[in-house]
Amino acid sequence: MNFEEQKISDFKRWETPFYFYNISLLRETLQLYVSYINKYNYHAHYALKANANERILEEIRSVGLGADCVSGNEVALALKSGFDPKKIVFAGVGKSDKEIITALNGGIFSFNCESIPEIEVINNIASGLGATAQVSLRINPDIDAHTHKYISTGRAQDKFGISPWMFQEVWQLLLRCKNVRLIGLHFHIGSQITEIPVFKTLCERAFELQKWFIQQGATLPVLNLGGGLGVDYADPFNHAFADFDSYFSLINKHLKVLPNQEIHFEPGRALVAQCGFLISRVLYVKQGRGIKFAILDAGMNNLIRPALYGARHHIVNLLSKGRTMRYHVVGPVCESSDHFGKSFLLPQTQRGDLVAICTAGAYCEVMGMSYNQRDIAKAYYSDTL
């Protein structure tokens, strides 16, 4: 197993459930990622929504990445955490006036605009503040990223982005708006994308779609390809890093870059997923019909991905060395959707055992809630034991 005896004895003392972050793995991941960014001369903004834990943000900021935000509070948090405003971008289909004001006052790099009325509102607010907003147009390229339907964001039927049939109207509007400046196009087609060739389609489509704007006389100094690179939930210990090599070499090979154009990315999950664990205690083992339930003290309020997307996280029993058996692993919350998955092969499991739910660094702590009036779980770090 990948946890040392010393850590497991700490785990035994701490109140469960809790999140545990392996900071050295996070650093290794960031170093690897940054090595590719530097190699190809790309720019990256970390998607705060994947994990906005202070410690994690500090590690990410300190390697020089920018921030990709999807709410005014995320913009405020990024600023407070010391991210350079010139490296903050702000996306989202429903930016409120208050959020737009926060971002304008913060002097962020760019708004990733998702609709015609949004551009009008940003222009009006910017004009009132005597400011000019830099905007990228988030384009809906109608690409199916072959991921879960709730995290597909680039198909024509999805709510995100501006579709090509609106380009003429958007362009006319931009000509009239004196307080917004178009700097580029933005794409983000989904999350947990494991079919890397999807990104080749994205490169080709992005280049084609840019042409229309260039023909109208636009200069597009920025092309932002978003995030979405997936990680291995089934085998986290053998695949501790996302396949950055395939991803970046494919993009480098297929993307035609305009002269003087910067290429931007917005990684979230791929940077933080594998460094996080949800550590939980087995409360009861209960005989069900034909299989036992292992009932944990962690539930969907600590990790909602199985309930929300049918996700399956690898689970390890940290204490038992018994012969393996099958268990349905469930939480204590009063919802049948509060489960971590069916038929897990675990060593014989009993009350009091500690389990590690792996790949819990992205979209877990940050989605934590207090449903059933349950406590919000604490976080611990490998380097502050």
The answer to whether 95 contacts ligand PLP (rule: CB under 6 A) is no
The answer to whether 242 contacts ligand PLP (rule: CB under 6 A) is no
> Mapping DSSP to helix (H, G, I), strand (E, B) and coil, where does residue 120 land?
helix
Residue 301 C-beta: closest distance to ligand PLP, Å = 21
The answer to whether 50 contacts ligand PLP (rule: CB under 6 A) is yes
- Applying CB under 6 A, the span of 35-43, 266-274, 282-290, 334-342 interacting with ligand PLP comes to 266-274
Each residue 208-227 as x (binds ligand PLP by CB under 6 A) or -, in order, gives ------------------xx
314, exposed or middle or buried, with CB in 10 Å at 0-12, 13-18, 19+? middle
The answer to whether 68 contacts ligand PLP (rule: CB under 6 A) is yes
Contacts with 60 (C-beta within 8 Å, 6 or more apart), sequence order = 30, 46, 271
Residue whose structure tokens are 């469930």: 330
Residue 111 C-beta: closest distance to ligand PLP, Å = 12
Residue nearest to ligand PLP (CB): 268
The answer to whether 49 contacts ligand PLP (rule: CB under 6 A) is yes
The answer to whether 70 contacts ligand PLP (rule: CB under 6 A) is yes
Work out the widest C-alpha separation in the chain, in whole angstroms: 71
Task: Pick the closer one to ligand PLP by CB: 154 or 331.
Answer: 154
Residue whose structure tokens are 């994205």: 202
The answer to whether 91 contacts ligand PLP (rule: CB under 6 A) is yes
Q: Report the alpha-carbon distance of residue 197 to residue 200 in Å, rounded.
A: 5
Of 99, 107, 159, 160, nearest to 134 by C-alpha is: 107
The answer to whether 275 contacts ligand PLP (rule: CB under 6 A) is no
Contacts with 266 (C-beta within 8 Å, 6 or more apart), sequence order = 44, 45, 46, 47, 68, 89, 188, 224, 225, 226, 227
Instruction: Give residues in contact with ligand PLP (CB under 6 A).
Output: 47, 49-50, 68, 70, 91, 188, 191, 226-229, 266-270
